[in-house]
Every structure is written in C-alpha cells, then in structure tokens.
C-alpha cells in the first residue's frame, strides 16, 4: 500500500485538452462567424429591442439575433415553451458535437447568473393580471431553474450526464471551466462538458442601470474616460478531455488548459479592492497551477468591464504582476454576458491562439494615466502567441483566471 501511494504521489497529473467547442454570441452563431467578427474588431452592440428601455440611462446591449435560434429546436409545442437560453445552449452544443460526435461527457459543469430570469419576471407579472391562465404558470416555473437550459441542450443532443451549475456572479463561466479542468486533472474524470450561458433579462438590465454601472455611451474598457459597461448575452461550451487519451484516439486538439486560480477579496458587494489584490491572487494561482512564470504569458484577455473601479483594480494587478504584456477586453464588442462571459472569452482566446492574432480592445481613445498597460487598441494585432490568460471577476470580490495554451501540431 505504501509503495502504491508513493507511485501515485510521483505521477504527473493528467493534462487537459479542449477537443471541441461551440459558441453563440452577439458576434455571431458559431466559431467561424465569431472568428470573422473578432478579426474585424466588429462592434456588435446595438439598441435594445426585446423590452422597453425608455426610462433607462443605458439603451444598448449585445444581443443574439432571434433568427440564429429559430431552427435550433423543432417547431413544436414543447420547444416553443423553452427559454431562449435553452436554444442558445443547444446551438452551442450542436456545433461542439459536429467535429466530435463521439464525445460523451461523464459530467457537465455550467456557469450562469440569471438562469431563466425573464421567465421569473413573466411569472410574477402574470400573478397580477386578472384572469391569468393557471395552465401557463407551471411552464414559467419549469423553465426558471438555472440547470434547465443545460439539461434541455443535453436532451436535444441525445446526451445524459450529471449536471453541476456554478452561480458565482460574473466569474461563473471561468469557475465552471476551472472546476471541469480540475475534475480531469485529479484523474476523477476523463471527459467533461463545460461552459456558460446567460440571456439578456429586463430585470437584470434595469438593475445594472439603477446601479449606474451601465453606460449611456460606448463601453470603453481601460479608457481614461470609461464610465460603465453594457450588457450582453450568449452561450459557449467546451469539450474537455484527458490529453493523453485524446491524442491516443487521434482527436483534434484546439488548446490545452494548463492552470486555474481563484480568490475572493471580501472588500465590497459591488466593488473590487482598489489594491487589485483579488485579481492578482487569482492570476498568481493560475500561473502556479500551470507551472508558468509571468513572463511566459504573451496575452491577457481581461475581464475589462469598462467600469472605473473594475478596470483600475484589474489593470493595477496586471501591471504589477506582468509588466507591459498585451491586454485587451472584448466586452466593447459584445457587452458583458455575466455568467457566460468567462466561457465565451475562453473561446475567443482559443481562436486567437490558433489563428495568430490578439483581439482588439475597441472604443479605446485615451490611456488611463494611472494604468501602465499595453492595450491592443481598436485593431487586432498579429502575434504568434502560445500562452494566454483569461480573467473573469465578479460582484462580491470573486475572481477567477485560466491559463490557455496552443499545442504544437
């Protein structure tokens, strides 16, 4: 028994490969459309059309077009009752499975914040309406739980696996990927489906507007005159697999996840600690997990919401830990998709690694004098980048970072 334990202690942990991915966001439906939009540094934020914003300061958001979701599920009575988040998740999973039809997850880990929040809105409004049909209310309740879109997507694609949901503010998507990564790295699982989703919700939109965290202007991450975020929506899924097993079966490997770090700074309900200690600890722990030094990171896909406090804390942490590494936030292009952001931005980072460019930080006009950062401003930058970091930070001081690496062919 002692000898067996010694051998286990000396064994290297399994490496974790991304063998397939699927995505839908305001940038487009699918990896190819997303790649084209990233290369063009396309601004995909538009006036909100789904609900009235007449009384809001902010009137724009990144929105997934309904036409992209129309044919995702059959046009039957059951499908018509599903939340649009279920359609987004199904769209992402269908794309993921196209190049990897044999991928059968042993576990599904998904990050989100609002779940079926808009169905919750409809439910409580229906209660106040005279003559509300009782038969309509159970359907609204049934679609409210945050695991429902993930379960609907699995069922639509003929898959079944245990499903775990992580709801940890805006770090949720990266938390989900990190948890899935550690499930494989510990040897407990060989194949895990992971990612995140969030759908634009009036309740959430008005909440951010009431906090005055949303801007009536453009979202300008790291800009000296930034004054708030815009919201977005979408879904992204990644198929993670033990790297040795993936190679043995000849699978295409999109990237390797090599490190994951988390922290909580416990400073304020909505503001990060101004010292940047929370983001710094998450990034340091991700590097330690990956066995990487700060100078090995060639690009950081920043959380970069465009809010004064978030960008200042994150920028300070990046500058102190990495120096003048290339940094960009892609939220100017599509808004902040909350629980989906970490998953969507991980896919953006993988596309950048595989295609030799760094995504642009659009709407950038003037540097913040308090931040010494190498911002990839307004246009993509050609780069042969092998190792990148993706950050997600949320309300309550929750922070998460993952290290992503391109693998040589």
Q: Which residues partner with 301 through β-bridges?
A: 328, 390
Class of domain 12-405: alpha beta
Tell me whether residue 83 is one of the annotated catalytic residues.
no
Break the chain into its structural domains and give their ranges. Answer: 12-405
- Is residue 29 within 8 A of residue 247, CB to CB? The reply is no
Residue 136: the pLDDT is 66
Tell me whether residue 179 is one of the annotated catalytic residues.
no
Which candidate in 58, 163, 336, 385 is catalytic? 336
The strand pair at 163-166 and 191-198 is best described as unpaired
* Cα–chain center distance at 378: 21
Residue 131: the pLDDT is 63
Which candidate in 44, 163, 303, 385 is catalytic? 303
Rounded to whole angstroms, the Cα distance separating 23 from 342 reads 12
Which candidate in 163, 170, 183, 219 is catalytic? 170
Rounded to whole angstroms, the Cα distance separating 329 from 345 reads 9
Q: Which residues partner with 236 through β-bridges?
A: 23, 196
Six token digits for residue 190: 């060989």
Q: Return per-residue pLDDT of the chain as tens, 409 residues.
A: 334 433 444 578 999 999 999 999 999 999 999 999 999 999 999 999 989 999 999 999 999 999 999 989 888 877 777 888 999 999 999 999 999 999 999 999 999 997 557 667 777 777 777 666 655 677 777 777 889 999 999 999 999 999 999 999 999 999 999 999 999 999 999 999 999 999 999 989 999 999 999 999 999 999 999 999 999 999 999 999 999 999 999 999 999 999 999 999 888 777 888 889 999 999 999 999 999 999 999 999 999 999 999 999 999 999 999 999 999 999 999 999 999 999 999 999 999 999 999 999 999 999 999 999 999 999 999 999 999 999 999 988 899 999 999 986 5
Six token digits for residue 201: 């919700």
Residue 9: the pLDDT is 46
Tell me whether residue 170 is one of the annotated catalytic residues.
yes
Six token digits for residue 61: 């958001």
Residue 82: the pLDDT is 85
- In DSSP notation, 51-106 reads S--TT-S--EEE---HHHHTTTS-SSHHHHTS-HHHHHHHHHHHHHHSS-TT---S
Question: What pTM value is reported for the model?
Answer: 0.94
């Amino acid at each position: 028994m002692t000898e067996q334990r010694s051998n286990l202690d000396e064994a290297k942990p399994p490496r974790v490969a991304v063998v397939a991915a699927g995505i839908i966001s305001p940038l487009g439906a699918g990896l190819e459309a997303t790649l084209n939009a990233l290369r063009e540094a396309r601004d995909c934020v538009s006036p909100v059309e789904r609900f009235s914003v007449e009384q809001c300061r902010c009137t724009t958001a990144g929105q997934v077009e309904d036409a992209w979701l129309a044919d995702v599920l059959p046009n039957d009575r059951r499908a018509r009752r599903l939340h649009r988040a279920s359609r987004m998740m199904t769209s992402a999973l269908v794309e993921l499975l196209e190049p990897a039809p044999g991928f059968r997850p042993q576990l599904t880990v998904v990050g989100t914040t609002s779940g079926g929040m808009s169905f919750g809105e409809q439910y409580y409004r229906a209660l106040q309406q005279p003559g509300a049909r009782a038969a309509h209310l159970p359907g609204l309740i049934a679609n409210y739980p945050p695991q429902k879109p993930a379960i609907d997507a699995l069922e639509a694609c003929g898959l079944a696996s245990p499903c775990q949901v992580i709801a940890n503010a805006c770090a949720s998507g990266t938390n989900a990927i990190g948890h899935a990564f550690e499930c494989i790295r510990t040897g407990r699982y060989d194949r895990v489906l992971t990612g995140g989703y969030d759908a634009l919700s009036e309740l959430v939109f008005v909440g951010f507007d009431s906090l005055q965290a949303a801007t009536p202007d453009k979202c300008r991450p790291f800009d000296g005159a930034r004054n708030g975020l815009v919201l977005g929506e979408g879904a992204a899924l990644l198929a993670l697999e033990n790297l040795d097993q993936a190679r043995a079966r000849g699978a295409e490997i999109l990237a390797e996840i090599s490190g994951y770090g988390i922290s909580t700074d416990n400073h304020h309900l909505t503001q990060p600690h101004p010292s940047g200690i929370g983001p710094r600890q998450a990034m340091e722990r991700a590097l330690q997990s990956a066995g990487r030094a700060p100078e090995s990171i060639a690009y950081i896909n920043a959380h970069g919401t465009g809010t004064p406090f978030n960008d200042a804390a994150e920028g300070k942490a990046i500058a102190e830990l990495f120096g003048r590494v290339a940094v960009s936030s892609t939220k100017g292009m599509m808004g902040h998709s909350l629980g989906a952001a970490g998953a969507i931005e991980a896919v953006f980072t993988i596309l950048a690694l595989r295609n030799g460019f760094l995504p642009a930080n659009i709407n950038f006009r003037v540097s913040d004098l308090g931040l010494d950062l190498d911002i990839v401003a307004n246009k993509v930058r050609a780069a042969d980048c092998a190792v990148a970091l993706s950050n997600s930070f949320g309300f309550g001081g929750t922070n998460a970072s993952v290290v992503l690496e391109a693998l040589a062919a």
